[in-house]
Structure 1
Amino acid sequence: MPQGDGGPPAPAPRPKSASVRSVPLPTLGGMTNQAVPARPHPLPTLAACVTVVLWASAFVSIRSAGAAYSPGALALGRMSAGALALGLICVVRRVPPPPRSAWRGIGISGVLWFGFYMVALNWGEQQVDAGTAALVVNVGPLLIALLGARLLGDPMPPRLLAGMAVSFAGAVTVGLSMAGGGGSSVLGVVLCLLAAAAYAAGVVSQKPALAAASALQATTYGCLVGAVACLPFAGQLVRQAADAPLSATLNMVYLGVFPTALAFTTWAYALARTTASRMGATTYAVPALVVLMSWLALGEVPGPVTLAGGALCLAGVAVSRSRARTRAPRTAPAAGEPRSEQVP
């Protein structure tokens, strides 16, 4: 009954036994009073996988198209096909131009990554063997990590550093096992180094632009800027297209539509949702996939050392993209209340 003046005192609360397990009660909306880390969304990971697979396939297509097209003509044809495909999508979907704040990053990445990188890489691969080119170009993810930490403030967790070290060792193993087939030159090594530097600078420049522009906007206009930067090679493209076999031209179109238009869009989508360093480390899976695709498509059987290097590349990517497990925080007991066992 209700307690009034002079009534019997209220019974004292029974102390909790130390053997009782306390479970946090649900609050309004089904949420508990403890912060639960959200699970990462699978779409960015899927987009990164699409990018890596298509970029790996590009090396096989470049070997076919590069026999009929010079480095600059191949880059212009690839960028033109990519810009045309992306432009049609933007027209159909009525995608507006990117905001003014994103143009600086899009322009820099378009000139360096979509333009200069493509020409330098195509030219460099004609001067050095495939192993040396793969070895030198794979400096790019390391440069992305350094520039991302310096300019973007990207964190450098131990798992990322360890994974990149393992992957780079795998890339070195793959490169050395494939080296010696086509000779090498100082010019070729310099061109591959310049391609790696342009790739890293382009990625770091694109990352801030994705805060204001969508992945489709950044890729479409970056590809268009790259095509404009390659216009000095238009005469070569016209002359060589008249004499090139149909297979080489189809490979050039494939490079523009899939490894450029589609893969760069999925790359930008994933990059907008993670750090530049982590995305750069993901590309270390490309050498392993190139070895596998060359085996399946060209009949080039890799040796045991090459397979071991590819396995190291994939293992390093897995380590760099893994996340440390976080334990649920323990709540301190109230004053005078016995400690209770937390239920995970």
Structure 2
Amino acid sequence: MVRDDGSADRQAIVAAAVAVVLWASAFVFIRAAGHDFSPGALALGRLLAASVTLVAVLVIRGEGLPVRAAWPGIIVSGVLWFGVYMVALNWGERNVDAGTAAMVVGIGPVLIAVLGGLVLREGFPARLMAGMAVSFAGTIVVGFSTTDGGGAAVLGVVLCLIAAIVWAASTIAQKPALASASALQVTTFGSVIGTIACLPFFWQLITEAAAAPLSSTLSLVYLGVFPTALAFTTWAYALARTTAGKMGATTYVVPALVVVMSWIALDEVPGPLTIFGGVLCLAGVAITRSRPRVAAPVDPEAAETAA
């Protein structure tokens, strides 16, 4: 259920901001760990680290199993988002750079807003649509400005597109589950289900982990604890307190953040076009989060006196 009070909205904004920053870092760390881990093994290792962390927190907090009504959404999002999405994104980033991957996955919020309006009956507010248009233009600018030579492998783009579609469908499935289960429960059991779905990659993970350098293994653990366990939980927390469309729109800043992080980590200086695209992303998010001005009520007696 969406709460309209200002406190809930502020909490949702903070939680969404945490998820967005950590997810942006994931694009960089996936590129780093992807040199030593295959897509399936990387997804399984990430999910194992996330599941161990989340189950431990769940036990410490004393939260039990979700109610029956929440399980359909948890199962769907667990298989699709925690399983299929991660494998597809890992595979896609082996063929395209982080900026291009972030741009393609960036169409996910558009699909979330459309599905949210159709399936969840959230409607299509004018400010949300306008902000999405501005931010989507920004993701295109950022993506093309960071693509080597303007080209990208077709397979990588298709895989990132699949990841975007799966992400959108999972968000719509997850939203109703959050009405009857906590963000921690939905994320924990979604991660466990995703881990089970990725178990066919177990021996790949064991073999590759034995040969991988420490830096890649640490990157894998980081991906599990922070962009997965922490970020997916804060995302679910925020999603329970606002609409799916608004939540999707906040992630439009991810491509811009990816560029900045790549600049810091890989010494790649963004050009003017990239900076312009990042500004568009931020401007679009600001539009979606803004509220229409409400005219102050007019005192009839004061108006009559002034007349």
Work out the CA distance in 2 between the residues paired with 1:150 and 1:83. 32
Match of 1:217 among 185, 197, 206: 185
1:5 equivalent in structure 2: none
| 1:71-150 aligned within 5 A | 71-150=39-118
Work out the CA distance in 1 between the residues paired with 2:116 and 2:5. 25
Deviation, structure 1 residue 188: 2.1
Deviation, structure 1 residue 157: 1.2
Judged with a 3 Å threshold, the aligned counterparts in structure 2 of structure 1 residues 158 and 182 are, in CA distance, closer, same or farther, namely closer
2:279 equivalent in structure 1: 311
1:152 equivalent in structure 2: 120
Q: Cα RMSD (Å) of the superposition?
A: 1.7
SS of the residue corresponding to residue 6 of structure 2 reads: coil
Deviation, structure 1 residue 292: 1.4
Work out the CA distance in 2 between the residues paired with 1:207 and 1:301. 38
| Range with bigger deviation, 100-109 or 175-184 | 175-184
Deviation, structure 1 residue 150: 0.6
Deviation, structure 1 residue 40: 4.0
| Range with bigger deviation, 188-197 or 161-170 | 188-197
After superposition, give the CA deviation of every residue in 1:302-341 in whole Å (9 maximum; x if it has no partner).
111111111111111111111112234557x6xxxxx444
Deviation, structure 1 residue 95: 0.9
1:39 counterpart = 2:6: yes
Deviation, structure 1 residue 267: 0.4
1:293 equivalent in structure 2: 261
1:194 equivalent in structure 2: 162
What letter corresponds to residue 37 of structure 2 in structure 1?
A: Y
Q: Is the 8 A contact 2:27 2:98 kept in 1?
A: no
After superposition, give the CA deviation of every residue in 1:174-204 in whole Å (9 maximum; x if it has no partner).
1111112695333222211111100000111
Judged with a 3 Å threshold, the aligned counterparts in structure 2 of structure 1 residues 107 and 181 are, in CA distance, closer, same or farther, namely farther
Work out the CA distance in 2 between the residues paired with 1:290 and 1:133. 10
Note the residue ranges of structure 1 that are not aligned, 5 or more in a row.
1-36, 334-338
SS of the residue corresponding to residue 127 of structure 1 reads: coil
Q: Is the 8 A contact 1:138 1:284 kept in 2?
A: yes
What letter corresponds to residue 76 of structure 1 in structure 2?
A: L
Q: Is the 8 A contact 1:135 1:171 kept in 2?
A: yes
SS of the residue corresponding to residue 93 of structure 2 reads: helix
1:206 equivalent in structure 2: 174
SS of the residue corresponding to residue 129 of structure 2 reads: helix
SS of the residue corresponding to residue 128 of structure 1 reads: coil
1:322 counterpart = 2:290: yes
1:50 equivalent in structure 2: 18
Scaled by the length of structure 2, the TM-score of the pair is 0.93
Count the aligned residue pairs: 300
Work out the CA distance in 1 between the residues paired with 2:114 and 2:48. 32
Q: Is the 8 A contact 2:85 2:166 kept in 1?
A: yes
1:24 equivalent in structure 2: none
Q: Is the 8 A contact 1:160 1:319 kept in 2?
A: yes
Work out the CA distance in 1 between the residues paired with 2:102 and 2:170. 19
Q: Is the 8 A contact 2:31 2:94 kept in 1?
A: no
Q: Is the 8 A contact 1:120 1:194 kept in 2?
A: yes
Work out the CA distance in 2 between the residues paired with 1:269 and 1:131. 27
Q: Is the 8 A contact 1:145 1:276 kept in 2?
A: yes
| Stretches (4+) displaced over 6 A | none
Q: Which has the larger radius of gyration?
A: 1
Deviation, structure 1 residue 57: 1.1
Match of 1:245 among 200, 208, 213: 213
Judged with a 3 Å threshold, the aligned counterparts in structure 2 of structure 1 residues 297 and 184 are, in CA distance, closer, same or farther, namely closer
